[in-house]
Structure 1
Amino acid sequence: MGGQAFASHASPLPTPRMPPAVYDHVLKQTLHALREHYAQVESPIEAPGKTTHGDVDVLVTGALEKDFDPEERPWIEVADKLGEVLGAVSVIRNHGQSVVNLAVPWPKIVLPSMEHSPESAEPEEVKYVQIDIHYIHSPERFQWELFHSAHGDLWNILGSTIRRFGLTVNDRGLYLRIPDIELLDRKKSMIFLTEKPSEVLNFIGIDEKRWWKPFSSQSEMFNYAAGCKLFWVREKDAEEEEYDVVGDLPAEGQEGGEVGKKKLKHNDRQRMAKRPIFNDWITVFIPKCREEGLYTEQKPTQNEIRDEAFKQFGVQKEYEEKLASWKLLRHKDEILREVIKGSIPIEDVDQQFRAASIRTIKAVVLEGQEFQGVIPEAVKQDARGFYDVAAVKAFVQANWEEAGRVGLERLLVKSRLAMQEKEAKRKREVVER
């Protein structure tokens, strides 16, 4: 939470940003204390070049005692135990989440800037350090969280690169997106590929060994990210070229600068405003690469990356079935909205009669009910479940009035039965008295 959890707490506490010496001291003590109670305890690798830290983030899993295990004890109780172990003066228990924010006293250590301070210096204000402990429920998820949280904005950078090729990484794993579905529903378009960091890095062409070490500078991290096999930069005159929008084209290269910024997704533009490192990637690093003609080799197409994912992760059947199911669902929605409802007049028609007609024809076309004793040939589906749109439309236009009459008769019968049941119920209640 960036060290701000206690600023708006019921009893606010000052948790200012920490210099590296304070951060390192608190992190070392926290890791040591928690390793007495959990099998795995780690802190994500920090972003390069940080001169201050807002809080201390620690991931834990594999409780060694019941009192520290959310699987055995309510999270509120576990959070309190963690507060005791770390000497917290205040605890924020996040209900519904296995995360606890702790405020611990600012450590009494001598910083380099204080070594020559006069003894008569005024006493320091009382302040605290915020420690956020995240309990992860499995070793696999622990490894993923540690991986996904590493190096600060690095996944924002890589995410903007691989997104152009139909790939997404989130807090659950690596996904392949189905373009046809993504246009209308991003979440439903996603096919899970893997939550194994080594498989993700291998697939996007990033060196795994280097991943697990801190970067000494922002420049070093940028060049590492540019080594991704999907990263390439458009040459300076490339934007003047005209491309046919049909066919299996290369995914568009990075542009950066003001032109590239305008083409970013809304979320990425927001990140630029809030994340200085990501902003430098877009506005400084990529334009510099374009100026120097670096990373200009065009990469595989989105379809080629899709096929590579099929081969490596075995998701082709799931992809094709999901796409086919989506197309059929959209087709049936089109049949209802445009063919059935769109073919029945609105003007000069009683709305109750029209509604009855729509219900009847929907039941015949989409639910397989008989009409006048048979299933009409015009509404039968092919082997894939699709309809002959022209035939269905002709059927609706020829039969909507009869369908309306049938629908009203059914409604009348249903109403009579309901009234009879109501009367029968009233009589039973009288007898029971």
Structure 2
Amino acid sequence: MGGSAFSAILPPSALPRIPPAVYQALKARLTPRLQTLYSMVATPYEAPEKVDHGDLDLLVCEPLAGAKEVPHATVQTLLRAKYVVPMAGNRTSNYAVPIERGEWALLGHEAEEEAARRRAAQDGQQETYYQVDVHVCSDESEWRRINFFHGYGDLGIILGLIARTRGLVLGSTGFKIQNHPRPPFELSESMDDVLQYMGLSMERWNAGFQTKHEAFEWVGTSSLFDLARFRTEGPGISKVKPERTMYAEFVEWVKRQQTQLQMEVGPTRSKEDEDEQIEHALRYFGKKEAFDKVEREEADRARLKEVFNGNSVRTWAGLHKEEWKELKMLIDETNMERRA
């Protein structure tokens, strides 16, 4: 979430950074409006110590009055947005809501509002806007996962990094096992269960973090976090993206912890360590039997593909290369019998 979605319509100066007091007032004003359309409306917890905001994110779910979906025009009217970048289905649509003159002054930010209007006027814009992003979730489970993963800035990304060091995947779609070259195998969609497995307190998460340092210390209590093996640079370690400031600060926090403890960082975990963690996760979430079944079926398909291919069938059927139609017919008939 975040970033300007109106670059084709408005210059960046027309969408100024939002002071925290103004942001909170905007959230308090727009949330009840959306609650007249959806039974579930929330904004992910803001990053600790955030000095300003680029936009307001609102997660919504379960349209009221039995409606299958809410038209973008209805949301646009309700938010009093001048522009909208609509996205169909369970995706994020962007709304440009005009900032009323004097609105920031009432909250002690008159100078910032006037400065923002002057910058916009220099680019030929007479109005300034809030970017309001409305993400429509498919169900309550997705709503809770996205709300969690995007809470407290980069905290979800940091937790995903910790999981990845153990061969696990944590994202807004849930907790999974890396299963290359096949898609990840799902362990759980419940963030409560995932945090419990990671040795982290959901109660502490719900209580909130006043500082980034508090959030980092909480992450450090995870049973999956190994300070002695956490490398912050070198082969296989991606550079931190400039916009991921909280993630970058976490990396620096780890470095300081390692320095203070005069800790020599060891190698990352071996494949054997990773396999052991995956086996533990499968048993913890009761997915061992299902995973083994998928693995057996994949192995059977691979063996069948190796044995049952065009060249092998042509050989045992005694067909010539030019008899490709006969070969295709034989393979199709065999596949039909095998599926029956």
Alpha-carbon separation, structure 2, partners of 1:165 and 1:7: 40
Say whether residues 1:145 and 2:146 are aligned partners.
Answer: yes
Partner residue in 2 for 1:361: 312
Residue 235 of structure 2: aligned partner: 262
Give the C-alpha shift of residue 54 in structure 1. Answer: 0.7
Shift of 1:201: 0.4
Is the aligned partner of 1:155 residue 2:106? no
1:279 and 2:279 matched:
no
In structure 1, the partner of 2:335 is none
Computed over aligned residues only, the root mean square deviation of the Cα atoms, in angstroms, reads: 3.4
Equivalences for residues 210-221 of structure 1 within 5 A: 210-221=204-215
Q: Which has the larger radius of gyration?
A: 1
Q: Is the 8 A contact 1:233 1:294 kept in 2?
A: no
Matches of 2:45 and 2:3, distance apart in 1: 17
In structure 2, the gaps of 5 or more residues are 122-126, 328-340
Percent identity, please: 23
Aligned to 1:177: 178
Assess, with a 3 A threshold, how the Cα gap between structure 1 residues 307 and 55 changes in structure 2: closer, same or farther. Answer: same
Q: In 1, are the aligned partners of 2:149 and 2:155 still within 8 Å (CA)?
A: no
1:56 maps to 2:24: no
SS in 2 for 1:274: coil
Distance, in Å, in 1 between the alignment partners of 2:285 and 2:297 is 21
TM-score, with structure 1 as normaliser: 0.64
Go from structure 1 to structure 2 and tell me whether the alpha carbon gap of 1:113 and 1:92 turns closer, same or farther (over 3 Å shift): closer
Q: Which has the higher contact order (CA 8 A, sep 6+)?
A: 2
Does the CA contact (< 8 Å) of 1:255 and 1:290 recur in 2?
no
Structure 1: runs of 5+ lacking an equivalent: 235-252, 337-357, 365-370, 372-402, 416-433
Shift of 1:45: 0.5
Q: Secondary structure at the match of 2:169?
A: strand
> Cα gap change, 1:134/1:151 in structure 2, threshold over 3 Å: closer, same or farther?
same
Q: Give secondary structure in 1 for the equivalent of 2:104.
A: coil
Q: State the Cα distance separating 1:106 from its structure 2 match.
A: 1.2
State the TM-score, normalized to the length of structure 2: 0.80
CA distance in 2, matches of 1:122, 1:8: 21
For the structure 1 residues 261 and 46, does the alpha-carbon distance in structure 2 shift closer, same or farther, using more than 3 Å as the test?
Answer: farther
Partners of 2:325 and 2:129 lie apart in 1 by 74
SS at match of 2:207: coil
Q: Which amino acid aligns with 1:315?
A: K
Match of 1:32 in 2: 32
Q: Report the CA distance shift for 1:411/1:41 in structure 2 as closer, same or farther (over 3 A).
A: same
Deviations 1:290-336 (A, max 9, x none): 11228999999434432332322211122222223333444455568
Q: Which amino acid is the alignment partner of residue 201 of structure 1?
A: L
Q: Distance in 2 between matches of 1:297 and 1:308?
A: 25
CA distance in 2, matches of 1:306, 1:203: 12
Please report how far the alpha carbon of residue 49 of structure 1 lies from its aligned counterpart in structure 2 after TM superposition: 1.6
The 1-side partners of 2:235 and 2:242 are apart by 13
Aligned residues of 2:90 and 2:138 also touching (Cα < 8 A): no
Rounded to whole Å, the distance in 2 between the matches of 1:278 and 1:409 is 59
| Paired AA for residue 245 in structure 2 | P
Q: Contact conserved, 2:154 with 2:246, CA < 8 A, in 1?
A: yes
Which protein has the bigger helix share?
A: 1
Structure-1 separation of matches of 2:253 and 2:284: 32
